[in-house]
Amino acid sequence: MYTQTELKHLSEVYIFLFCDPLLPSTTVIHRFHRRQFIQYGSICMGSSLLAACTNSNQPANSSSQLDKVSFGTNWYAQAEHGGFYQAIATGIYQQHGLDVTIKMGGPQIPSGTQLLVGGAVDFFMGYGIDAINAIAQGIPKITVAAIFQKDPQCLISHPNTAKTLADLKGKPIYVSAAANVTYWPFLKLKYGFSDDQKRPYNFNPAPFLADKTSTQQGYITSEPYAIEKQGGIKPTVFLLADYGYSTYATTIETKKELVEKNPDLVQRFVDASIKGWYSYLENPQPGNQLIKKDNPEMTDDQLTYGIQKLKECGIITSGTAEQQGIGAMSEERWKALYDSMVNAGVYQPNVNYKNAFTLQFVNKGVDYYKKS
């Protein structure tokens, strides 16, 4: 096992290697599940091989008749991945002619772009900002669906210290290195935040809890829960998506070659994944069982909290997804994201951002996905 110091070093190296836009590899925004960072240092992707044949209630299709597909996630199994696990657990992927293997992410797993381009996975759980950055670097990947209409990224402050996001200007904020190429430029441009506010975030709420004037980053589905449990306080939480941070998250991305050569396979994977999410939001138990099998440290309370926040905050079914269905995307939304990041200095103004996505496989309407 790695020591805590070694793991922290690995995490920082990992972020700078794969999140710095000046480096040859594309920006990848992986979410570090901070509560489990130390415990999982030695896990590799090969430990997660949940194939679609694991459920006895699935159709009796021979696995040899199914198209084998691999899907890489961006972190250890959790509620934020629930729809994909649900599609395995309930046989939805098999019903669409697919034998799907989920390859679980982690701190030592290469970037999703490297996995896609290298052929290690067929699809990957991506991120809107990274998708446009890949186009800027000439990397042939494309986003085919956006499961999260809102990025769960949030800032968390102590109770009664701030009423609005703007109140955090000038106060110390614990942020990761990845923030420098994602939400931090947005906060600087829109709210006047400055770099001297930043403090290094080590994926542990202890420094935040010790300093009642401070704020820390987090995911609305996870860190507030951990802070309540560890600190005994109910923090104030600012979901950045509600303040104009417009990136899609938990996207489905793949190589452009697959879209061109086998659009039917892409369509079946997208449709089945979206149906898995509808199923998960209605009854998450089948998916949760597989999540806990893949990630034994995940608790029922954490899963319940995560699902509650996904629903409460409209992470999945807000905006165009209300009518067009989970996974929906729009050209207007992608343009707004691109323009905001150009204004913040993250992108150059000559990137053909439209090559980062296709609407070919989504926006079919809620009824299409909910029909049997």
Measuring CA to CA, which residue among 345, 9, 18, 369 is closest to residue 185? 345
* Token digits of residue 68: 């084998």
**pLDDT at res. 59:** 47
**pLDDT at res. 88:** 98
**pLDDT at res. 371:** 83
Looking at residue 138, its amino acid is G
| Parallel/antiparallel/unpaired status of strands 236-239 and 153-157 | antiparallel
Please identify which residue in the block is written with the tokens 């030695």. Answer: 42
CA distances from 149 to 254, 333, 349 (A): 19, 10, 24
Q: Contact at 8 Å (CB) between 34 and 204?
A: yes
**pLDDT at res. 107:** 75
> Is the model's pTM score more than 0.85?
no
Please identify which residue in the block is written with the tokens 């975030």. Answer: 201
**pLDDT at res. 207:** 96
Beta strands of 130-225 (E only): which ranges?
141-148, 153-157, 173-175, 198-200, 215-219
**pLDDT at res. 289:** 98
Q: Which CATH class is domain 153-243?
A: alpha beta
Per-residue burial over 56-93, b = 16 or more CB atoms within 10 Å of its CB, e = otherwise? eebeebeeeebbebbbbbbbbbbbbbbbbbbbbbbbbb
CA distance 78 to 72: 13
Q: Which fold has domain 4-151+247-370?
A: D-Maltodextrin-Binding Protein; domain 2 (3.40.190)
CA distances from 336 to 1, 122, 129, 137, 146 (A): 44, 28, 11, 20, 15
CA distance 58 to 73: 23
- Residue 282 phi, psi dihedral angles, 5° rounding: -85, -45
CA distance 77 to 136: 30
CA distance 253 to 300: 29
Q: DSSP code of 280?
A: H
Q: Contact at 8 Å (CB) between 63 and 69?
A: no
CA distance 276 to 264: 18
Query: How large is the C-alpha radius of gyration of the chain?
Result: 20
Measuring CA to CA, which residue among 205, 215, 130, 234 is closest to residue 173? 215
The domain limits of the chain are 4-151+247-370, 153-243
CA distances from 214 to 6, 158, 170, 171, 207 (A): 26, 7, 10, 6, 9
Intervals of the chain under pLDDT 50: 1-49, 52-60
**pLDDT at res. 319:** 94
**pLDDT at res. 245:** 94
Taking the alpha carbons of 316, 318, 322, 324 in that order, is the dihedral positive or negative?
negative
Is there a common fold for 4-151+247-370 and 153-243? yes
Helix, strand, or coil here: 319?
coil
Strand-pair partners of 143: 253, 357
**pLDDT at res. 61:** 55
